[in-house]
Amino acid sequence: MNARGAPVLSETRNEISGRSCASSIASQALTRRMPYMRSILPRLAVVIPLGLALAGCVNDPPTNGIGSTTIGSAPYALGDFGTLTYRAVDLILAAAPQITAETPLVVASVADVQNLDQSSALGNIAADLIRTRLAQNGHAVSEIRLRSGVSLKPGNGEFFLSRNAQALMAPPSVVAILTGTYAAAYDKVYVSLKLISAADGHIISGADFVVPYWNVAGLLPQPHT
């Protein structure tokens, strides 16, 4: 052992003694706090799962919505406006087997839920997407905006569609109408589509979906500032 060995050994023993003392003090402090900890454990048992549940609500995984108790699918599903409109039409047709390819159908604009006499670019393009999807599926869908004759506008174009009732062809005979409503919320737009009997007005089938507001903001009337 060199000359420095004894001081080093002495310091090591002091450190061990100090740690032992600190451990004893900590143990005594923990013993004094045990009743308090036992009193708050039941509260933690409630708060921690609740916090995890809330975190789950905020960070739900981006999965397709699935119906829970009835045939069909929940409104919440991923996709852009066009994709979800096509999907809704497919769901409506799947739930209405009595509507065959030969059943005469027409499509009306999707209206503002707060004003059924008013639509927007959103409601009108939704109706056109529905017409397209019905035709793709082989259904007999009529274009009720068809003019009785072409409208020629120099420098603008040639038009066969109109919303001027006096310029339109006679309305076709139909068995069912596909139409619906939409409602804009703060961050979402809700769309509800219905296939309705032309004979008695009963709803044959329907489907709903939700899109982020930013996905369709340019198709909606902008609020006055």
Note the pLDDT tens digit of each residue in 115-124: 999 999 999 9
Contact 86, 209 (CB under 8 A): no
Q: What percent of the chain has pLDDT over 70?
A: 66
- Is residue 62 over pLDDT 80? no
Rounded to two decimals, what is the model's pTM?
0.66
Does 81-219 carry CATH code 1.10.260.40? no
> In angstroms, rounded to a whole number, what is the distance separating the alpha carbons of residues 196 and 180?
10
Domain boundaries, the chain: 1-60, 81-219
- Is residue 61 over pLDDT 70? no
